[in-house]
Structure 1
Amino acid sequence: MGNRTSIVSGRTADSASADPASPAALDASKLNITLAKKLKPLQPIETLRFGQTFADHMIIATYDPEIGWSAPEVKPYGPITLDPQCSCFQYGGNVFEGMKAYLGPDGKARLFRPDMNMRRMEKSCARLALPPIDGDVILELIKRLVNIEMRWIPKESGYSLYIRPTVIATRPGLGVTASDHAMLYILASPTGPYFTKPVSLLAVSENVRAWPGGTGGHKVAGNYSPSFLPQRTAAEKGYDQILWLFGDDRRVTEAGAMNFFVVVKRDDDDGVDLITAPLDGTILPGVTRASCLALASDPEFHEEISVRIHPQEMIYTMHDIAKWSSEGKLLEALIVGTAVIVGPCNRIGYEGKDIVIPGAGTGPVGTALRKKILDIQEGRTEWKGWGVVCS
């Protein structure tokens, strides 16, 4: 039968001591829980596709400028009702995050560096002038949802429960102005490996993913739909994803909706360079990106894998990649993100020719980074507090 309860969290909302006349802050201690009367059957893991299956429940809360945030609620997964005037439909005032919960060998669910997701979500909401959110409170709600939906986390390595917290602008009216109304909802979706083979990329310069002063450094919905047509064109030409280039010098930025790295042999034989574009406002500050750079800077990790890695955040171009390839220095190309973790690229199409990556793209650096991150995510390795138990 359905069950409705309220929980008290360990965090006290700021609104408790705030001016009673001010709008209420989002408060995890006011969480109400309405459980589904009937749970859905679990799917065999081999049938799971990213973002196609959803757990039994979701969390939802709304913001009104006079009242503030409503009490958040866990409720059965289902449609939401919105006025057709809502600014999320008209002006794209939508922000989201992507993160995963993994099941460890101790049977506990873990999130991977979730504080980074929450800080990024706060910045994304601020960039779109949405009502302010408290990422720490949202994280408490996410942990609660994960614990309710533990049965949906597959036990097999490489599988997880994908978490999608979303904030949408719900101001009614067609005026072109910032939304002072909002809705927060959090979904959970069991998923497996995003790619099962090395990925091919088509380098594109006639379209751009992001530009200086834009929103490329934030996780907002409007960044994604303009990429669909170029992605379709790439698929028609036999490529899996797009490698986005920027400017007349064809600077390398990102791959599809993922960060991008190359591994290049150094002239002094002192290991390899792990190169990615700098965070200049056009690059999404990915959690996995930051984790790869941190590991690549750590002598302990170098000792584990017996490779000396020199992480480099720098501007580089397709001309550089072509040159490194012709000189035999281009060793690996990697796509990096929450869904894929770390994946290999096997070829890059550019100006009618393919730059082929050695070993079909699968190399020691990408393999080691993926293994280390997955071991941390799945609780087999403790590393600098990156794995956060949902307790």
Structure 2
Amino acid sequence: MMVSLFQPVRNTIRCARFISSFRADDLHITLTDKPKPKPSDDNLPFGKNTSDHMFEVDYTPALGWSRPVIRPVEPLKIHPAAKVLHYAQELFEGMKCYRCVDGKIRMFRPMENLNRMERSAVRSGFPPFDRFELLKIIKKLINIEQEWVPYSKNCSLYIRPTMIATEPCLGVTQSADSKLYVITGPTGAYFPTGMKAIRLLADPQYVRAWPGGCGGFKMGSNYAPTVAPLFQAQKELNCQSILWLFGDDHQMTEAGTMNLFVLWTNENGEEELVTPPLEGGLILPGVTRKSVLEVVREWNEIKVTEEVITMGAFIKALNEGRVKEVFGSGTASIVCPVGQILYKGQELHITDTEDVGPLTKRIYNHINEIHYYMKPHPWMESIDIDADESLRNVTAN
């Protein structure tokens, strides 16, 4: 039986997190006196806008967590020797909240993201924190920024919790000092052309993750090495993203920053939705991935499987006419159809049109209706907070 190297650390943190953590009741709020003009909900780009306020809290071994604050957004002040700038000790999350059809603002499965954030913090050597207290504070931040939540069924408020190592010491050791902060901003679709089938480059020379590595954690260091290959794929090969492969058998792992799904008729003649498994650490445990699996299993109409998909098996199924749909899933896009894959100079055509497959479209519509509460669902968590409570301990900037 394999024993995780990080199990003792994880158990220690479970015991300590409620003793050593910031608390929502201690939150101090400073409101801006120079609010920014809000962008139009029409043609909102992804990730280009930030709202007026942010949450921030610092950790030092001597003092533990500082008093948490919500304040106007401004540049961070960190030492040039801070470990995050040299050794990429950093993690982040991506979450969204929506202005629902009943006028209320709700978050989509926030504890799933914060549970993953806690796992990433353990792997990164960050201090423990109470994720339930963090959620309370995020809700307060959203309450303050509620007018930044778009009045549109095509947009949302993106929420970016982040932790960085701030100890000013040039040495590859666990950072003594840390900063946790949260920014938000209104955002539109990740792909500005809408939900159209994209083209992926599958080049085995580029590897995103490997067993025992950090591919299963949400760390900025996972993304930096993907930027140059992605730019090359977009500029030179007319591919919108990359299909990441692993191993001598060229396992299909992820589609860009999205989890990968294949709908096919398997060799037993069954209609099957298959996605690579989380075991092995190659795959990020996406919240949307989990949601897609749960939705399709609940429908109970087709077989749902988590197993390795190799390029060999995929091409064989494609040549035999058994591949029906391929799509990626993620917070930014919900689902994104894949039309073509460029592999070793060979064009693999899943579809010759930009049309969305029936299952992909059905999943998108179903989850999108949950987001905006057209389908009331327990995945949507209200941020209803009494205004007086949320603005307690307020000072003017």
**TM-score, structure 2 length as denominator?**
0.88
Instruction: Return the alpha-carbon distance in structure 1 between the equivalents of residues 286 and 315 of structure 2.
Output: 26
Instruction: Using the TM superposition, give the Cα deviation of residue 387 of structure 1 relative to its aligned residue in structure 2, in angstroms.
Output: 0.8
Gaps of 5+ in 2: 1-14, 385-397
Partner residue of 2:354 out of 357, 360, 363: 360
Amino acid at match of 1:346: G
**1:46 Cα deviation from its structure 2 partner:** 2.8
Report sequence identity in percent: 41
Aligned to 1:341: 334
Q: Distance in 2 between matches of 1:267 and 1:157?
A: 40
Separation in structure 2 between the aligned mates of residue 215 and residue 191 of structure 1, nearest angstrom: 28
Partner of 1:388: 381
Q: Is the 1:277–1:315 contact (alpha carbons within 8 Å) kept by the matching residues of 2?
A: yes
Shift in CA distance, 16/47, structure 1 to aligned 2, threshold 3 Å? closer
Which residue in 2 is equivalent to 1:224?
Answer: 223
1:4 paired residue number: none
**Tell me, what secondary structure is at the counterpart of 1:262?**
strand
Q: Please point out which of 95, 98, 102 is paired with 2:98.
A: 102
- Quote the Cα distance in structure 1 between the aligned partners of 2:113 and 2:59: 21
CA distance in 2, matches of 1:192, 1:314: 33
The 2-side partners of 1:58 and 1:367 are apart by 35
User: Secondary structure of 2:167's partner?
Assistant: coil
Match of 1:179 in 2: 175
> Residues 102-141 of structure 1: matches in 2 within 5 Å?
102-141=98-137
- Is 1:273 aligned with 2:266? no
Q: How many residues align?
A: 364
Output the amino acid matched with 1:216: G
Residue 374 of structure 2 aligns to which amino acid in structure 1?
Answer: R
Per the TM alignment, residue 211 of structure 1 is displaced from its structure 2 partner at its CA by 0.5
CA distance in 2, matches of 1:221, 1:374: 27
Matches within 5 A, 1:1-391: 24-195=20-191, 196=194, 197-235=196-234, 236-266=236-266, 272-279=271-278, 280-298=280-298, 301-302=299-300, 308-358=301-351, 359-360=353-354, 362-383=356-377, 385-391=378-384
Runs of 4+ more than 4 Å apart: 14-18, 266-270
Name the SS for the 2:42 alignment partner: helix
Q: By how many angstroms is 1:265 displaced?
A: 2.5
Q: Which whole-Å CA distance do the structure 1 matches of 2:128 and 2:17 have between them?
A: 17
Q: State the alpha-carbon separation in 2 of the partners of residues 339 and 54 from structure 1.
A: 16
Aligned-partner Cα distance in 1 for 2:108–2:303: 24
- Name which of structure 1's ranges 282-291 and 40-49 shifts more when overlaid on structure 2: 40-49
- What is the CA distance between 1:154 and its match in structure 2? 1.3
Structure 1 window deviating more from structure 2 (101-110 vs 213-222): it is 101-110
Q: CA RMSD in A?
A: 1.7
Q: Is the 8 A contact 1:110 1:390 kept in 2?
A: yes
The residue type paired with residue 335 of structure 2 is: V
Partners of 1:57 and 1:75 within 8 A in 2: yes
* Inter-partner Cα distance in structure 2 for 1:145 and 1:199: 35
Deviation, 1:363, is 0.8
* Unmatched segments (≥5 aa) in structure 1: 1-13, 19-23, 303-307
- Is the contact made by 1:36 and 1:76 (CA closer than 8 Å) also made in structure 2? yes
Contact 1:57 1:187 (C-alpha < 8 Å) held by counterparts = yes
Give the residue type in structure 2 aligned to 1:191.
Answer: T
Q: CA deviation at 1:360?
A: 3.5
Would you say the 8 A contact 1:131–1:179 is kept in 2? no
Per the alignment, residue 10 of structure 1 pairs with: none
- Mapped to 1, the partners of 2:104 and 2:295 lie a distance apart of 24
- Residue 175 of structure 1 and its aligned partner are, at CA, apart by 1.8
Deviation of 1:264 (Å): 0.5
Q: Secondary structure at the match of 2:354?
A: helix
Q: Is the contact between residue 154 and residue 189 of structure 2 (CA under 8 Å) also seen in structure 1?
A: yes
